[in-house]
Amino acid sequence: MPDIPRETLATVALVVTDVDGVLTDGRLYIGQDNLVLKSFTVRDGQACALLHRYAITTAAITGRSDAGVTQRLEALGMSSVLQGITDKAHALRQLAATQALPLQHVLYVGDDLPDVPAMRLCGLAAAPADAHPSARHAAQWITKACGGHGVLREIADALLDARGIDPHDPRP
């Protein structure tokens, strides 16, 4: 568990994440014809399923645009996948308003300077262990996991635990 009050974790209704450096390790594999490949861990996919099962919505805001990212995140059931975003704080405000959620019930996960304004807006900000110092400084929660290695699963486990739900129980 992070060093954050359970009451704070239990109020999170929306988890918004950056993609590169959070859901991936931030590396881009560029192939022939500019094909870009990224690697996602299935643990974060399971995190989305668990969060959705317990009525916690997920979304992504990322600066890059990639059809593969859209495909993966929509398959995970994310409510919104916003790509090519330069002003993540503005996008976060709009996303929260669309879902009729006050920003204090939003957890934003970011790993670098473009995420910092959004991290400062929300009720709770998290950063992967290997995030840039600017993001770690803006975060109240630094995960033990590095980007691309289960950051969202670590967050999901803590949010569910704060609600008295055992995230390790395989029963539906």
Q: What is the CA radius of gyration of the chain?
A: 15
Q: Can you read off the two tokens belonging to residue 133?
A: 């110092």
Give every residue of the chain whose pLDDT is below 70, as ranges: 1, 170-172
* Residues contacting residue 19 through CB under 8 Å, at least 6 positions apart: 38, 60, 62, 64, 69, 73
DSSP helix, strand, coil percent of the chain (3-state; round to 5)? 40, 15, 45
What was the pLDDT predicted at 1? 63
The helix (run of H) or strand (run of E) holding residue 59 is strand 57-61
Distance from C-alpha of 22 to C-alpha of 149, rounded to nearest angstrom: 8
Quick one: which of 148, 155, 160 has its CA closest to 122? 155
Query: Could you give the CA distance from residue 82 to residue 163 in angstroms, rounded to a whole number?
Result: 28
Q: What is the pTM of this model?
A: 0.94
User: Alpha-carbon distance 76 to 169, whole Å?
Assistant: 20
pLDDT for 36 equals: 86
Map out the domains of the chain with their CATH numbers.
Answer: 6-162 (3.40.50.1000)
- For 140, residues 6+ apart whose C-beta sits below 8 A from its C-beta are 4, 124, 125, 126
**Which residue's entry shows tokens 């308003």?**
97
User: For residue 149, what pLDDT is reported?
Assistant: 97
Give the pLDDT of residue 14: 98
**CA distance linking residue 106 with residue 14, whole number of Å:** 5
> How far is residue 156's CA from residue 58's CA, in Å, rounded to a whole number?
10
The confidence score (pLDDT) of residue 172 equals 59
- Whole-number Cα distances in Å, 153 to 77, 78, 143, 146: 15, 14, 10, 11
